[in-house]
Amino acid sequence: LPLEYQKALPLLKKIEEAGFEGYFVGGSVRDVLLGQPIHDVDIATSAFPAEIKQIFPRTIDIGIEHGTVLVLDGDESYEITTFRTESTYQDFRRPDQVAFVRSLEEDLQRRDFTINAFALKEDGAIVDLFGGLNDLDNQVLRAVGNPYERFHEDALRMMRGLRFVSQLGFTLEEKTKASIIENHALLAKISVERITVEFVKLLLGKNRRLGVEMLVETNCYHYCPGLAEHKAGLQRFAELPSMPLTNEIQAWTLLIDQLGLPSDAIRSFLKGWKCSNQLIRSVQQAFKGLQWRKTQAYTQMLLYELQVETIAIVESLLPYYGLENQAPHFIAAYDALPIKALTDLAVNGTILMETFNKKGGIWLKEALLACKTAVINQEVANEQAALLEFLQETQSHLVSL
Ligand code: ATP
Ligand code: MG
């Protein structure tokens, strides 16, 4: 067992000592069997939330109506969720109401794919009720039970399937795939936020090409914000060199470029995906840098504007265009800039108003801009005396009374 499981093993023991069943479940069991690193250890139990809270002294109610209690153990915390069924599906979305049950089998039945429906016992034995081990071996993604029914219960499962294709490089089992093609339009019922989570994981998957091709082949892209008219762009994106993308800013920037969107369409495209304003700004900056860098080196001013994080992202994207990543070179150039922000400038508004004995106004903004530009372009030293002299000599129309 991996270290994360060994650490969590005492919790399973405690649950069993109290007379209940407890298992490791979900993505972590799949990842352990695949020999991949795991992120969260999820535990499923026959104990009801109130019973879990009696067993463990330190707990937080994080989703008690869904049966989930967070148990604190040393400096770790674990989500312990009561076995449940999700019987009351309305409107093709995940249910608001769940029923707690005492049977592991019923809990595993509600899960989406056979490789996500394992339970791992305290003694290391694997519960595999739906042939998941076989599917792991054959690298097949198969819905648990009848795919048509499962996608009707919760249409998001189709997007989850596509992102697992991208993350794992697995093939969709024939009926599962046919059912996604048939039911793709049910995605219209799913909130954008939930679709976005899966789509970003798909973009960042190691087998991005497969995932994006399946997104197109199953027609699910029709129900992704802003993508319906972009089949050809998505295919171009799928065909990019296969190096994996490591962060969301990279992924969106590259996608938007392959879709051929103009820079002034980025905001509304990403708003459609409910991206944060901060992410949108980062993508706009990276996109600007990328367009420039595809044909030439940065100017001093562009280095200043983009700042080091965006420069690194832009450089990391160049290999997708057959160009060289020159991050070390351009980060050194950024580091050598005389100023990194306006506050580094040796003059400020107060100094200029006092020196030239003028009240604030448009002249002041323009004078500061002239100083900033001259300093960044290394035409004037970033020193107060040098800058005041520069203004008097070259910008007298601004600073004279
Ligand atoms: P990741 O490694 O990205 O966390 P995961 O498989 O653990 O992948 P989670 O969203 O953390 O995905 O869900 C944990 C488990 O809950 C899944 O493995 C699956 O068994 C079940 N599950 C999650 N979402 C659904 C869903 N929409 N329908 C059915 N089962 C689901
Ligand atoms: Mg998980």
ipTM at complex level: 0.99
Q: What is the CATH number of domain 1-138?
A: 3.30.460.10
| Mean pLDDT over each residue of the chain, to the nearest integer | 96
Q: For residue 40, which atom of ligand 1 is closest to its CA?
A: 4
Q: Which residues contact 182 (CB under 8 A, 6 or more apart)?
A: 148
How many Cβ atoms sit within 10 Å of the Cβ of residue 125? 10
Q: What is the pLDDT of residue 34?
A: 96
Ligand 2 center to 162 CA (angstroms): 16
Ligand 2 center to 234 CA (angstroms): 27
Q: Select from 30, 34, 112 the residue to mutate for testing ligand 1; criterion: most ligand atoms less than 8 Å from CB.
A: 112
Report, at the CATH architecture level, how domain 140-239 is classified: Orthogonal Bundle (1.10)
- How are strands ordered across the β-sheet holding 42-45? 59-63, 68-73, 76-82, 42-45, 22-25, 119-120, 126-127
Ligand 1 center to 285 CA (angstroms): 34
Q: What is the pLDDT of residue 96?
A: 64
How many Cβ atoms sit within 10 Å of the Cβ of residue 266? 21
Q: What is the pLDDT of residue 92?
A: 67
Q: What is the pLDDT of residue 140?
A: 98
Q: For residue 26, which atom of ligand 1 is closest to its CA?
A: 18
Q: What is the pLDDT of residue 89?
A: 60
* Amino acid making up residue 35: G
Enumerate the domain spans of the chain.
Answer: 1-138, 140-239, 248-337, 342-399
Report, at the CATH architecture level, how domain 248-337 is classified: Up-down Bundle (1.20)
| Fold matches, 1-138 and 248-337 | no
Q: For residue 157, which atom of ligand 1 is closest to its CA?
A: 27
Q: What is the CATH number of domain 342-399?
A: 1.10.246
- Tokens 């029709």 found at: 222
**Could you read off the pLDDT tens digit of each residue along the chain, which spans 401 residues?**
899 999 999 999 999 999 999 999 999 999 999 999 998 999 999 999 999 999 999 999 998 889 999 999 999 999 999 999 976 565 666 666 788 999 999 999 999 999 999 999 999 999 999 999 999 999 999 999 999 999 999 999 999 999 999 999 999 999 999 999 999 999 999 999 999 999 999 999 999 999 999 999 999 999 999 999 999 999 999 999 999 999 999 999 999 999 999 999 999 999 999 999 999 999 999 999 999 999 999 999 999 999 999 999 999 999 999 999 999 999 999 999 999 999 999 999 999 999 999 999 999 999 999 999 999 999 999 999 999 999 999 999 999 87
